[in-house]
Structure 1
Amino acid sequence: MEKKKLLIVDDHRIFAESLSNMLGETEQFEIDKSFTINEAITKYKATLFDIIITDIQFPELDGFFFIDYIRKQNDSIKIVALSSFLNPLLLKRLQRMKVNAYLNKNTNRIDLIHILNNLNENHFYYPSYRGKENELSPREIEILKFILEEKTTKDISILLNISISTIETHRRNLFIKTNSLNMIGLAKYAIINNII
């Protein structure tokens, strides 16, 4: 059986290498890896891939830019979007972009291989959402409310008696979990979810 050509795009090298090794053991895929969007575009132009597995978040251009670029070039290539935080708010956006699957990076080996072998342009694969992976913790909700009250990181740190670095970590997680790019996105999320 001819191997499917697969490109893994992820800026976390250890994850990309591990995923490549795991899928390589099946001997079903011919695998290449890219650690930046620009590198992935270069490799895409040089090789006719059957499947692309890509992260959504990158330090430079984001995964949405990459997915959009690929779809404009090729409507039939199979695309799997990966994320550490599965966000149901992204579902419609990814479906509109004709992504074939949206998976958590913790998806087990058997499920992942099954999904890769059964990708279909007429079906969007998304695991049942149980509301836990992306659910904000009580502390995150507390910090989100302070942020929306326009409190500074230093103010929140004093009010909650926790370090500034801890507040910054919570801030980053809030943007990731709510799929927000700015304060307006956080405010929309809070209104939709009855947080404020």
Structure 2
Amino acid sequence: MSLDADFDDDRTRQTAGVAGKPSVAAACATLVFQQLLALGVCVGVPALVTAIAPVSWVTLERQEGRVTAVAQTCLLFVVPFKTATVDPVTGFGDRFAAGTVTRERRPGPDRETKSEDEGFLVIQGPGQSAEVPVSPVSLDGVLDKANGFLEDPQAAELRLFVVANWKFSVIGGGLSSLLTVLYVVGVTLGLLMKFVGLIRRGWKVAVSALP
């Protein structure tokens, strides 16, 4: 075999080896896509679920006889995406919206589906008001607590945790939010392991450099 043939064979093997290895850009693009996909599934989906049936924190405070209400509607139970303030508060009311019935025509008996009933705590003030989604099951109890605070001049603060729908807000939102918790824990552990690995490599280099 000639030298030219050997050179061609070596060049062919090197080219095939380079072509068989994924480029750094392709590896980075794949990693970014995987992280975006994980972020969308583990954070975006739970955020959407808890936005459809949110939970809210309502804080009532009394200072010098003046009652102020701050209502924060949250994603993922703790991330506020809507805040309403009523200052001063003059009263509380409620609003109920019955679910609508949708009839689907099909061969045989028609299929009827009914949307969920909705309830709202109405915080009233002079020239202003705010509505907070509250499950119809809990609406009367929440209204009693709010009015009780308003009528008690000695009460300084009341914090209420209310849900728009127990089935979707707590059960559905809680289970989906576990994905977010697992994602955050996984990312944190991954970064921690990389940090520990860097420390170990730096320690080995420092030790090897000693005389």
Q: TM-score range by the shorter chain?
A: under 0.3
The TM-score with structure 2 as length reference comes to: 0.21
> Relative contact order (C-alpha < 8 Å, sep 6+): which is higher?
2
Bigger radius of gyration, 1 or 2?
2
More strand by share: 2
The TM-score with structure 1 as length reference comes to: 0.22
